[in-house]
Structure 1
Amino acid sequence: MSQQKEEIWGVEVTAWWNLTGNLTVGGLLGYTEGRYDNDGDGNIDAWLPNNRIATPVHGTVYGTYVFDNGLNLRSEVQFFTSRDKITTVPEIKGAALVNILASHKVGKGDLSVGVENVFDTNYMNPTASATRNNVVNGFGRTVSLGYKVTF
C-alpha cells in the first residue's frame, strides 16, 4: 500500500438567527474539493476520486419553532451538489431532501417523531455510490419514533 501526495481544501459556515423568542432559522453550507498525485511523480495532477470527495457542496437550511407548551417543530432542507470530476465512474448527482421533526418532553425524557425525505425524492446516495463506484439509491421516505432519556 502506498501513500499518495494530496491536497484537500474546503470551508464550512454555520449561521442562525433567533427571529423571535420562539422561531430560529439557520443553515450550514460546506465546500470541499481536492487533487492528488495520480502517477507517483510528486506532482499533484488529478482530481481526488469520488470515494474521497463525493459531493463538493452540501448544506442544510432549517427553521425551528418552540411553542409555549414545549412542543418543538423543526423543518429542514438538506442538499448536496453533483460531482463529475471522475469520468470513469458514475457521476454523483445532486439532490435536495425535506425533513420534519417534532419533539416534546414526556415524563423524564423527550418523545420525537420525524419524517425524513418527506416528498419521497428518488436520489443517489452520494457516499454509498462513490464508495462502490456504482449507483446506490438513497432511502425513500422514512418515519421515525424515538424516546430519549438523559441521565
Structure 2
Amino acid sequence: CMELGCRLGLVPILRAGLGMSGAIQDLIPQAEVWHLGFYRDESTLQPVEYYQKFSNSPPEIAFIVDPMLATGGSACEGIDRVKNWGVENVFLLCIIAAPEGIKKVSDIHPDVDIFTCAIDNCLNEKAYILPGLGDAGDRIFNTLK
C-alpha cells in the first residue's frame, strides 16, 4: 500500500455521494471525509444548501463525490464551497454525466478535473440525465417511490 504524503479530503454531496464514499475510502483509507448537503429546488432547478461540515484547516486535495452530474449546479456550488474553504486542488468524481453539466463545470471551474464513468446523451425538460438511471440517492438507499 502506497502512503500519500498530503492530506486528502473526500467531500460527498449528500445524500447520493455517500454511496461512492465507502469504495473510495477502501482505495484511500487515510482520506478525511467531510460533507456537503444540497437538494435541487424543482421549480428553479437551482441547488439549495442544507448542510456543510468542514474542518478548521482544509486538506491539500479534495475529491467532490456525486454519482450524477446533470446541470452542474450542485457540483459548481460544491466546488465553490470547497475552494472557499481553502482547498487549492479540487477534483470532481461522478459515475454518469450529461454534456450540459460537464460544460458548466468546465466553464466556471476550468481548473477542476472531472472524472466520470459514462457520458449520457442530454438532459430532459426536468433536467434529469437521459437515459440516466433515475434518482441515484433513491437507488442507493432503496427509497424509490
Larger radius of gyration: 1
The structure with more strand, counted as a fraction of residues: 1
* TM-score with structure 2 setting the length: 0.27
Q: Higher RCO, 1 or 2 (CA under 8 Å, sep at least 6)?
A: 2
* TM-score with structure 1 setting the length: 0.26
